[in-house]
A and B are shown apart, each in its own frame.
Chain A
Amino acid sequence: MQILKQGFSAILAVLAVFFLIFGGRREQGSHEGRVVVNYWEKWTGNEAEQMGQIVDDFNNTVGKEKGIYVQYLSMSSVDQKTLVATAAGVPPDIAGLWDPQVTQFASINALEPLDELAKAHGIREGYYKPVYWDACRYKGRLWALISTPAAAALHYNKALFVEKAKELRAAGLDANRAPRTLDELDRYAKVLDEYETVRGRKQVKISGYLPMEPGWFMQYTVYWFGGRLFDEKTQKLTINSPKMIEAYKWIQSYSKKLGKDSMTEFRSGFGSFASAQNPFLVGTVAMEQQGPWMANYIEDLKPSMNRWKMSKEQERKLPYEARQANYQWGAAPFPSAVANLENATYAGFDTLTIPRGSKHKKEAFEFIAYVNRQDVMEKLNSLHCKNSPLAKVSTKFINEHPNPYIDVFEKLAASPHAHGVPKIPIWPEVSEELGVVAQRVYLLEAEPKQALDEAQARLQLKWDDYRARQRARNSQNAANGGGA
């Protein structure tokens, strides 16, 4: 028995040693002998796979030629994982972050500046659309380049417009086009609203427009009112400016019109965005604010909306301008509340950054520069169904893009009235607070002015405190003989 026990223990020990030595080897393959660049990205599902195609293209062409292999890993919470890995001294070489994090991460030295590398690859200011180039910079330095950008536009359901053509005409509106002013949007919405009575209760059946569906850009509503969220000159947040109050009053007006309880009950019946129960696809919300990716989601979840009049084969024979008629939905610039504020939009984006301490900065930037080549950028953004961040856009990109309205998004992104996230490191906190303000306002818990005044007071204090702490830190560093 004793011998059996000892024999068994010996076998286990040998196995343990074997696996320790040979078990956990890094995967070796076609990239042997190349510099391995670790690339962490936020996307999952189709978007991750599509970026995977770009990575494969790079590895098989430029990467092969220059001896670089990009090891691509898609993950959730990429921002937090990047931050922790950077703090631990083992960052990825490339991290695909969200736009608000460029400023946030740059402010705490979590990113490598890219100015020199970009210049060496000929990537300069004029190469990008101004709104995107500006958003990649913080305190005079370049911290990120773009992988996929977006711009918010109004999406409308043409079939619902046609159904209500008579009523729209009676209200002096044209059923064959999207609203052009915010006042017009409100009037269209009112005509398109439908109610039903269930068990003696009046319920919303169709809503013409709901600011909170999907509500992703609600904190930027002031851009369509000609206002801003932050004044860079005075370094003050402008959360309770008259324009902001006006914008939030407009949000609240929809809650008051539909009735708070009816509206919340109506919204409870919505499926999630990436599901066939998406209210825009189901036809329970006639107009909404969305990004260019919506065309891809419609193709996946309700393809009939992309084949309204004819099959895809027939549509392909049509010129670009004529294709739009085959779509049951349309996209147009989201109307502004102010005259002469054309093509106002929120322009967001996904970034490619090099975290501080990356061991292969030069090689990592080779990949970032590759993604920023016009042909590659257009391929990636056609796959992702987004516009291009580059100033120059090919006709092929427009004509063959899966979104028949991509020219609308291109126009919006290039507009002088396109704005990104305010460049303050505490923006994630400000954005969160604005989301809560919007909820308080549309749940009729507070009046817009009261809610915005409270938010302004709290957040300005946070921002002032942040700046005071940074100043103290910089003085301390200077006193210790270090840089700021």
Chain B
Amino acid sequence: MTRKESQQLGKGLAFLSPWLIGFLVFTLLPVALSLYYSFCDYSLLQSPAYIGTENYRQLAADPIFLKSLKNTLIYALMALPAGLMVSLGLAMLLNQKVPGQAAYRTIIFLPSLVPTVASAMLWLWLFNAKLGLINNLLDQAPFSWMISALNFVLGILHLPQIATPIGWLTDPLYAMPALALMSLWGVGHTVVIYLAGLQDVPGELLESAEIDGAGAWTRMRHVTLPMLSPVIFFNLIMGIIGTLQVFAVPYIMTQGNPARATYFFTMYLYDNAFRYLKMGYASAMAWIQLLIILALTAFAFWSSKRWVHYQGK
């Protein structure tokens, strides 16, 4: 390295140092310490006492930990595909050249600008079993007919029928689907990313497909979706991380109720850390969560070789 190069390196590191120091002290060090604490009995004010893998052993037998993990995975399975499909569908609609296109795009994006607490409060009212707009709509035709028809079919199949009014947030059966439904409220950001991806789909490919006689569905299936696959992949990864860390909205809307039907992993982690003062136990939970997210992300990357197509490759 020449003298000039080392001078430049020094300057570069000097400019980088505020972030670098911040990252090391406020991110990397706590993360490393949390790994150590996960093997300790630690309550913040007592010095950590090493107990080996005891926290992990107890977690494996803790029914609430398992319940919260199960709830989180069920929520992810509901909210993630629904979010990806709805946002992709909306992006495709908003990509159509129709009058008022910009206005429609704005309307779809607007809900994602509403603060989390405000939208949670709004949805609390929408989901209210007695006074909520959703149940009021379901009480009117044609929705009431549809529910009657559905109940008729469920009756024939000897399955439990839908009791109205639906206790969206008070009935353990509906609370989780209600939260997954509500998660669609904030798809605006994902729609924007899809829209940007759709602009990048080469027009010449769509044109040649059309000349070759491909219809709208075939063009979407064999041209648009493969060209959009890197964007879908990106949204999938972000969705996995986001849904497995869900916290704020259920914490405000249900606090994990009814009867822990919406008690998520991060809520139990938070309770252990700050309400029960079991930092070691909570640290172990955090590392398990990290490993689960890591495993699912790695699986998504591995599977991406089969379905993600990059232009020029």
Contacts and interface: CB of A to CB of B under 8 A. Distances in A.
B110 to A, nearest CB: 28
Interface string A239-270: 00000000000000000000001001111110
Contacts of A476: 49
A90 to B, nearest CB: 13
B41 A268 contact: no
Interface in B125-149: 128-132, 139
Given A83-B44, A476-B49, A436 B260 contact: yes
Given A87-B44, A109-B46, A264 B167 contact: yes
Interface residues of A, number: 35
Contact of B259 (A201, A429, A445, A454): A445
B45 A356 contact: yes
Given A83-B277, A108-B43, A267 B170 contact: yes
- Chain B binding surface, main DSSP class: loop
Contacts of A356: 45
Nearest to B165: A265
A266 B165 CA distance: 11
B43 A439 contact: no
A104 B276 CA distance: 8
B167 A108 contact: no
B41 A264 contact: no
Nearest to A438: B259
Interface residues of B, number: 32
A432 B171 contact: no
Interface in B98-148: 128-132, 139
B167 A268 contact: yes
A29 to B, nearest CB: 34
A264 B129 contact: yes
A133 B297 CA distance: 55
Interface string B11-51: 00000000000000000000000000000010111100101
A268 B276 contact: no
B129 A445 contact: no
Contacts of A469: 41, 49, 51
B152 interface: no
A261 B129 CA distance: 10
Contacts of B312: none
A394 interface: no
B239 interface: no
Contacts of A432: 271, 275
B45 A87 contact: yes
B172 interface: yes
Nearest to A199: B139
Contacts of B274: 80, 83
B126 to A, nearest CB: 12
**Residue among A199, A201, A268, A472 facing the most chain B CB atoms (10 A cut-off):** A268
B170 to A, nearest CB: 4
Nearest to B274: A80
B63 interface: yes
A428 B257 CA distance: 17
B163 interface: yes
Nearest to B62: A458
Nearest to B164: A201
B41 A443 contact: no
Contact of B163 (A261, A428, A443): A261
Interface string A137-167: 0000000000000000000000000000000
B93 to A, nearest CB: 34
Contacts of B49: 469, 472-473, 476
Interface in B272-295: 274-277
A470 to B, nearest CB: 9
A443 B259 contact: yes
A194 to B, nearest CB: 16
A440 interface: yes
B258 A439 contact: yes
Nearest to A88: B44
Contact of A268 (B43, B129, B271): B129
B258 A443 contact: yes
A275 to B, nearest CB: 13
B134 to A, nearest CB: 12
Contacts of A264: 129, 167, 170-171
Interface string A444-457: 01000000001000
B271 A473 contact: no
Given A83-B44, A109-B45, A436-B260, A429 B276 contact: yes
Contacts of A473: 41, 46, 49
Contacts of B163: 261
A465 interface: yes
A368 B260 CA distance: 40
A426 interface: yes
Nearest to A269: B130
A159 B288 CA distance: 57
Interface string A60-103: 00000000000000000000100110110000000000000000
A110 interface: yes
A410 to B, nearest CB: 32
A454 B275 CA distance: 22
Contacts of B132: 268
A108 B45 contact: yes
B170 A268 contact: yes
B45 A426 contact: no
15 contacts: A83-B274, A265-B129, A268-B129, A268-B132, A269-B131, A429-B275, A432-B271, A432-B275, A439-B258, A445-B259, A454-B63, A465-B58, A469-B49, A473-B41, A476-B49
Given A83-B277, A268-B132, 9 more contacts: A84-B44, A87-B45, A108-B277, A268-B131, A445-B172, A469-B49, A473-B41, A473-B49, A476-B49
Name the 3 nearest CB pairs between A and B, nearest first: A268-B129, A269-B130, A268-B130
Interface of B: 41, 43-46, 49, 51, 58, 63-64, 128-132, 139, 163-165, 167, 170-172, 257-260, 271, 274-277
